[in-house]
Amino acid sequence: MSVRQSLLAILDQAPCYGYQLRAEFDRRTGSTWPLNVGQIYNTLERLERDGLVEKGETDDQGHVYWQITDAGSDEVASWLSSPVERSGGTRDELAIKLAVAATLPGVDVAGVIQTQRRASLAQLQALNRAKYAGANPDGPEELAWSLVVDSMIFAAEAEVRWLDHTEQRLALHPQHAMALELSTERPKRGRPAAGAAVVEGAERNDAQGARA
């Protein structure tokens, strides 16, 4: 989980208290991934449970400083030197929505795509405006923020291209030919089909990560 690892990496620089950690995370991400203090402390408690951080000194204002352990520093080094692994399945809401819509009788899938494209283009325009509104593009905080925004811009551009691609593919198939009526076969217990197994495995990994 990037929030967990990011907080650890900040603590690897020096001990911090909860609100300070949130502020430091915001500085490095341009507040593009807002965290509340409750999330910060819940994460710290899990990190403490796993032996990666520990409570340190308390200052005159009652702030409890958290400090990283040797195991936590090892975790940070491992995170920074490892690639981010993508799951084999997808839980992208838009992809699932269009896949289902394309197989439902009587649904105007072209209309669904056009509505989404307008929203995606509006988001892309807003991101580009935000990117070029920076007052100090060479500053470290502005650079960190722009890296995150660049990622969001590329993702939005890719989404628009994928929508165009999907529209072109669906145009080759008559709507009635794509419709799937409810199956009359009763599902059998046992192993899911190959595609379902990939998704099931991804969901299981997500659940394990959430418990971590």
Average pLDDT over residues 67-92: 87
Residue 210 binned pLDDT confidence (cut-offs 50, 70, 90): very low
Same structural domain, 109 and 151: yes
Residue 205 lies in a domain: no
Encoding tokens for residue 36? 């509340």
Radius of gyration of the chain (CA): 23
CB atoms closer than 10 angstroms to residue 106? 7
Per-residue pLDDT at 147 = 86
Give the mean pLDDT of the chain: 84
Domains: count for the chain: 2
Per-residue pLDDT at 148 = 86
Which residues contact residue 43 at a Cβ distance below 8 angstroms, ignoring those fewer than 6 apart? 3, 4, 7
Same structural domain, 11 and 54: yes
Per-residue pLDDT at 27 = 85
Residue 162 lies in a domain: yes
**Integer Cα distance of 16 and 6 in angstroms:** 13
Same structural domain, 76 and 7: yes
Q: Which residue has the higher pLDDT, 1 or 103?
A: 103
Helix (H, G, I), strand (E, B) or coil at 68: strand
Ranked by mean pLDDT, the top range of 107-111, 187-191, 208-212 is 107-111
Q: Is 187 exposed, middle or buried (0-12, 13-18, 19+ CB in 10 A)?
A: exposed
Average pLDDT over residues 4-26: 94
CB atoms closer than 10 angstroms to residue 46? 15
Residue 42 lies in a domain: yes
Same structural domain, 72 and 102: no
Residue 53 lies in a domain: yes
Which residues contact residue 60 at a Cβ distance below 8 angstroms, ignoring those fewer than 6 apart? none
Domain that holds residue 164: 93-183
